[in-house]
Every structure is written in structure tokens, then in C-alpha cells.
């Protein structure tokens, strides 16, 4: 630790530190005379508040981002987009398969059950229509609530 240099603020004598504190900032929106008349602790608070609102504040990590980091983020976003596309396509295929199975089941019920017992077929058809009607109503209500 003895070989290391101390920061400049610690190397300076107390008079220079006081002088730096007393000198108004050159980029301050207030007049230097106004700042110099304020007590030191109030002046520091005013300068700090003016500095906080003077420009955009960036996180320290933002300064360390390199081109390699940006490339990794873009690559990750592209891979995520590809996965989302594959997921949507798989969902569409499953939806198509379910629709075909449902159509085949309906055709089977229509041909087989309607020929055997018309009353049973009418009862099953009524229950299926009520089931899908309730599902459609629930979907419609959810879509309506999501819009608001």
C-alpha cells in the first residue's frame, strides 16, 4: 500500500480542497455570484441537485458494453425469435390435428350412432354444441375483458 499512489483528492492540502468547494461550477445554470454567496453546505446541495438534472444518467455498466456484447444480445434475440416461430408452428400443427380428429369423430358419430339410435345422437349432438358454445362464450368474454 505504501507504493500505491493516493487519489488526487487525498494528496491535495486542505486549502485547495476548500477552494475547490468554494468555486462555483463553470457549467452551472446559476450565476457564479449567487452560488458564491451561499453557505458551503447549501451550495454543495444546490450544485448536486443541478448536476442530477443536467443530463441523462447512465448506469456504469453501460460504459463497459462492447461490440461483442451487442453481438451476443442480437444473436440471443435471433435464437429466441426462431424458437418462438417453431413453437407457433407446432401449435398450429397440433390445432390442425385436433380439428381433424374432431371432424373424424363427428363423422363417425353421425354415421354410426345416428343409424343406431337417433335420440342418443340428438342428445350427444346437443351436449357437444353446448360444450363448444360455452368454450366460445368464455373465449369471447376473455377477449372482451382483455380489450378494456
For the stretch 49-108, pLDDT in tens is 766 665 566 677 877 888 888 889 999 999 999 999 999 999 999 999 999 998 998 898
Do 90 and 53 share a structural domain? Answer: no
Does the residue 18 lie in any domain? Answer: yes
Q: Using an 8 Å Cβ cutoff, are 21 and 41 in contact?
A: no
Does the residue 91 lie in any domain? Answer: yes
Do 90 and 46 share a structural domain? Answer: no
pLDDT given at position 88: 96
pLDDT given at position 80: 95
Q: Which helix (H) or strand (E) holds 147?
A: helix 118-147
- For residue 43, count CB atoms less than 10 angstroms from its CB and return exposed for 0-12, middle for 13-18, buried for 19 or more: buried
Q: Residue 115 belongs to what domain range?
A: 84-147
- Name the domain count of the chain: 2
pLDDT at 12 over 90: no
Does the residue 1 lie in any domain? Answer: no
Amino acid at each position: 500500500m505504501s507504493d500505491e499512489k493516493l487519489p488526487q483528492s487525498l494528496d491535495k492540502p486542505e486549502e485547495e480542497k476548500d477552494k475547490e468547494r468554494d468555486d462555483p461550477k463553470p457549467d452551472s445554470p446559476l450565476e457564479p455570484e449567487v452560488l458564491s454567496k451561499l453557505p458551503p453546505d447549501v451550495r454543495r446541495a444546490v450544485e448536486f441537485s443541478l448536476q442530477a438534472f443536467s443530463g441523462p444518467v447512465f448506469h456504469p455498466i453501460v460504459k463497459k458494453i462492447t461490440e461483442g456484447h451487442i453481438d451476443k444480445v442480437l444473436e440471443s434475440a435471433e435464437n429466441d425469435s426462431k424458437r418462438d416461430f417453431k413453437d407457433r408452428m407446432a401449435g398450429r400443427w397440433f390445432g390442425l390435428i385436433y380439428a381433424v380428429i374432431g371432424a373424424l369423430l363427428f363423422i363417425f358419430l353421425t354415421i354410426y350412432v345416428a343409424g343406431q339410435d337417433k335420440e342418443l345422437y340428438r342428445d350427444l349432438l346437443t351436449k357437444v354444441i353446448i360444450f363448444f358454445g360455452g368454450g366460445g362464450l368464455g373465449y369471447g368474454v376473455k377477449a372482451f375483458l382483455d380489450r378494456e
